Structure formats: structure tokens, C-alpha cells
């Protein structure tokens, strides 16, 4: 029987694989050309707003949209060398997703500490 892991253990393991970005650093990375990917559901985007310039790729299809071999890839998201900065609502599922993107070959994948909530708390730009 396989060993069971807690979600905290999975998060800890994922986060050792990349350097997470504080919201201000993520904003600077976006200004420098990083792709900010919003994995939140459409309902949260409508109720809480969006980060200007970010692209919406729901977590349920993220890996297929970014993997050029999937048959469902979006060509604008398949540059393995581009800095990809993921964010979810609070910075948990985006950490697991960033680790998966590393496995898919995105060598510069990361996420935002605190997710969208961290970005908003830092007073960074948000659009309705």
C-alpha cells in the first residue's frame, strides 16, 4: 500500500522546488515580461476582481493548455523558458501547480505568496 502524505507535506515538498514570489516581486516580474496566470474559478474573478495583464487558465485545464504535446495547448503559453507566475485565491493550489509545471519542463515556474489575496493586501493593481 502506498505511503499516505498530508496536504501540508505535499505543499512543503512542492515549495522546496522553486522560489516563491512575494506580491511586489511578482508585480516586478510581470513588468519584466513574466506571464501571470490566474487559476481561480470564474466566480472568484467576478467577485474579487483580476490582476491587470494576467491571463485566466482555470486549474482544471492548466496543464493541457501549457503542454505543447497535449493537443489542447494554447501557443501563447508554451514557451518553456518564459517566467510563469501562477496564482490562486490564497497561494496553496498554485504552489502544487507550479511544481507540476516544473515537471512539464517550465524551468522558471513559480507562484505568488498569498495568491490573489496577498496581491490585494499589498495594494497592487486590481481591476473589477
Instruction: For 57-102, write each residue's pLDDT tens digit.
Output: 999 999 999 999 999 999 989 899 999 999 999 999 999 999 999 9
pTM of the model: 0.94
104: pLDDT strictly greater than 90: yes
pLDDT in tens, 28-56: 999 999 999 999 999 999 999 999 999 99
Tell me the H-state helices in the chain.
Answer: 7-15, 23-31, 42-48, 62-66, 93-103, 115-121
- Give dist(CA 83, CA 85) in Å, integer: 6
Answer for the pair 112, 119: CB distance below 8 angstroms, yes or no. yes
2: pLDDT strictly greater than 90: no
Amino acid at each position: 500500500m502506498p505511503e499516505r502524505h498530508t496536504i501540508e507535506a505535499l505543499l512543503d515538498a512542492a515549495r522546496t522546488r522553486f522560489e516563491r514570489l512575494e506580491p511586489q516581486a511578482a508585480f516586478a516580474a510581470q513588468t519584466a515580461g513574466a506571464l501571470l496566470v490566474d487559476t481561480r474559478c470564474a466566480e472568484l474573478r467576478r467577485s474579487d476582481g483580476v490582476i491587470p495583464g494576467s491571463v485566466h487558465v482555470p486549474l482544471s485545464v492548466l496543464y493541457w493548455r501549457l503542454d505543447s504535446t497535449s493537443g489542447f495547448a494554447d501557443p501563447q503559453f508554451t514557451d518553456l523558458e518564459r517566467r510563469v507566475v501562477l496564482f490562486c485565491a490564497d497561494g496553496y493550489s498554485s504552489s502544487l501547480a507550479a511544481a507540476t509545471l516544473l515537471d512539464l519542463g517550465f524551468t522558471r515556474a513559480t507562484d505568488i505568496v498569498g495568491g490573489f489575496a496577498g496581491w490585494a493586501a499589498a495594494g497592487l493593481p486590481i481591476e473589477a
